[in-house]
Structure 1
Amino acid sequence: MDEETHRIQQPAQSDAAAVTCTLCGASADGETAPPTWICSVENGRQQYFCEACARTHIRAIESRLDSAWW
């Protein structure tokens, strides 16, 4: 948090940053994940899972198991 402006500083992102699946490495076009992808926050890190990996591990995801358990 910046003391002078009292705003949270956003990290700089590159224009060509692509979202990639944490498990298989598939990448999505653009800076945001498609609506069929799942975003999970584990140990303070955002992780994205593509549609195929999400379908394969949907029970573990719904049970809130960390991806290390899959």
Structure 2
Amino acid sequence: MSDEPTCSICGRSRAGATAVEALAWVTDTDERGTRWLCPTCARTHVRDIEGKLPAEYW
């Protein structure tokens, strides 16, 4: 089992990312724990994230 985070939406692993790409990953922490989003999914859902909408609405 890998210690590298995976995107909670698309399942992409951060393992193959370059150093610059790895910095673009986003974390979201709530009562259920920490969720990771890859740069592509974070860009797609940036308004939902900034609006603090529950992940169920994304």
> Would you say same fold, with TM above 0.5?
yes
Which ranges of 4 or more aligned residues in structure 1 deviate by more than 2 Å? none
2:56 is matched with: 68
SS in 1 for 2:23: coil
Separation in structure 2 between the aligned mates of residue 62 and residue 53 of structure 1, nearest angstrom: 14
Residue 36 of structure 2 is aligned to residue 48 of structure 1: yes
The structure 1 residue matched to 2:15, chosen from 26, 29, 33, is 29
Report the AA paired with residue 56 of structure 1: T
Higher Rg of the two aligned structures: 1
Q: 1:39 aligns with which of 27, 36, 46?
A: 27
Name the SS of the counterpart of 2:36 in structure 1.
strand
Which structure has more RCO (C-alpha within 8 Å, separation ≥ 6)? Answer: 2
Root-mean-square deviation (CA, aligned residues, Å) is 1.7
Deviation at 1:44, TM superposition (A): 3.5
Gap regions ≥5 residues in structure 1: 1-13
C-alpha deviations, 1:21-53, integer Å up to 9, x for none?
0000000118xxx21011001224100000000
Q: Structure 2 regions of 5+ residues with no counterpart?
A: 17-21
State TM-score, norm by structure 1.
Answer: 0.67
SS where residue 29 of structure 1 aligns?
helix
Write 1 or 2 for the structure with the bigger share of helix: 2
